[in-house]
């Protein structure tokens, strides 16, 4: 079974600084997707960034970027120029590739990292 | 924009009551999911559905059932609510087999 581990239950960052959230996963598959989701205190979960395992280039979305190390099964999220609105729970998630049967519909989540942004 | 709505933000029920949590999505997504979220445990999948009237058990289906009579609506049913089912319940939907999941705002259920 696939597992996702976020080893930092809580982190804090000074406004305008950079922070990196860690995520490792365990899988024997070669075709999969990885995601970072953000859940602000209002509780609506939104997608931050996604990475296809077959792509070597790291995904970026504005101030958010990932460091995807496939061999090490590591998928960290870097937030640059942190803003007060970045304060939230961040969840790393894994999903099998599109042609892996029923399992490809499901996301496996880590336990989350609570990020605080200090003004 | 995809919109996933849940019938209640907060719900208080008594032990033994039958509880219905409703979820509606407006983007014609094939797949719908129910999770529960507990502090320190992250999100755990209860059930999902990849088509009308189709359902699959997730990681923690015990004590729950689901219904999907229409494509846009996915209901989670607690046949006899218990205090250990006090939790945040999140609904999500996704298109096809490669789309990311879009989440609803959640229902905070308290069982007394």
The reported pLDDT for the residue numbered A93 is 94
A44/B106 Cβ within 8 A: yes
Q: What gap in Å lies between CA A54 and CA A51, rounded to an integer?
A: 9
pLDDT tens by residue, chain A, 119 residues: 689 999 999 999 999 999 999 999 999 888 889 999 999 987 789 999 999 998 889 999 999 999 999 999 999 999 999 999 999 999 999 988 766 565 567 889 999 999 999 99
CA of A94 vs chain B CAs: smallest distance (Å): 11
B100/A35 Cβ within 8 A: yes
Distance of CA B25 to the CA centre of its chain: 12
The reported pLDDT for the residue numbered A99 is 63
B45/A106 Cβ within 8 A: yes
The more confidently predicted of residues B97 and B6 is B6
The reported pLDDT for the residue numbered B20 is 97
The reported pLDDT for the residue numbered A2 is 80
Q: What is the pLDDT of residues B59-102, one digit of tens each?
A: 899 999 999 999 999 999 999 999 999 999 999 998 876 678 99
B79–A contact, CB cutoff 8 A: no
A70 burial level (CB within 10 Å; 0-12, 13-18, 19+):
middle
Q: Give the closest of B43, B44, B48 to A105, CB-based.
A: B48
Q: Which of B71, B65, B87, B69 is nearest to B20 (CA)?
A: B65
Strand ranges, E, within B1-112: 4-6, 10-13, 19-25, 31-38, 42-49, 56-57, 65-70, 73-78, 87-94, 102-103, 107-111
Instruction: Note whether A23 and A110 are within 8 A (CB).
Output: yes
B100/A50 Cβ within 8 A: yes
Mapped onto helix, strand or coil, the DSSP state of residue A8 is coil
The reported pLDDT for the residue numbered B92 is 95
Q: What is the pLDDT of residues B38-69, one digit of tens each?
A: 988 889 999 999 889 889 999 899 999 999 99
According to DSSP, the residues that pair with A75 across neighbouring strands are A68
The reported pLDDT for the residue numbered B53 is 86
Q: Give the closest of B42, B97, B102 to A110, CB-based.
A: B42
The average pLDDT across B18-31 equals 94
B40/A105 Cβ within 8 A: no
Instruction: Note whether A54 and A68 are within 8 A (CB).
Output: no
Could you give phi then psi for residue B104, rounded to 5 degrees? -85, 175
């Amino acid at each position: 079974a696939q597992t996702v581990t976020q080893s930092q239950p809580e982190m804090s960052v000074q406004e305008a600084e950079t922070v990196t959230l860690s995520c490792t996963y365990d899988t024997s598959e070669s075709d999969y997707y990885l995601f970072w989701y953000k859940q602000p205190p209002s509780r609506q979960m939104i997608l931050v960034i996604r990475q296809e395992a077959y792509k070597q280039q790291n995904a970026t979305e504005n101030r958010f970027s990932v460091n995807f190390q496939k061999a090490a099964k590591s998928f960290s999220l870097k937030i640059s120029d942190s803003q007060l609105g970045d304060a939230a729970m961040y969840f790393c998630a894994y999903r099998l590739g599109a042609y892996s049967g029923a399992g490809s519909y499901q996301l496996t989540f880590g336990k989350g990292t609570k990020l605080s942004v200090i003004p | 924009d995809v919109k996933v709505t849940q019938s209640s933000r907060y719900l208080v029920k008594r032990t033994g009551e039958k509880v219905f949590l409703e979820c509606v999505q407006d983007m014609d997504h094939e797949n719908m999911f129910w999770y529960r979220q507990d502090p320190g445990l992250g999100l755990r999948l209860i059930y999902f559905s990849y088509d009308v009237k189709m359902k699959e058990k997730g990681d923690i289906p015990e004590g729950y059932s689901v219904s999907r009579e229409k494509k846009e609506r996915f209901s989670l049913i607690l046949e006899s609510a218990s205090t250990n089912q006090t939790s945040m319940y999140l609904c999500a939907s996704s298109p096809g087999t490669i789309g990311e999941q879009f989440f609803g705002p959640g229902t905070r259920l308290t069982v007394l």
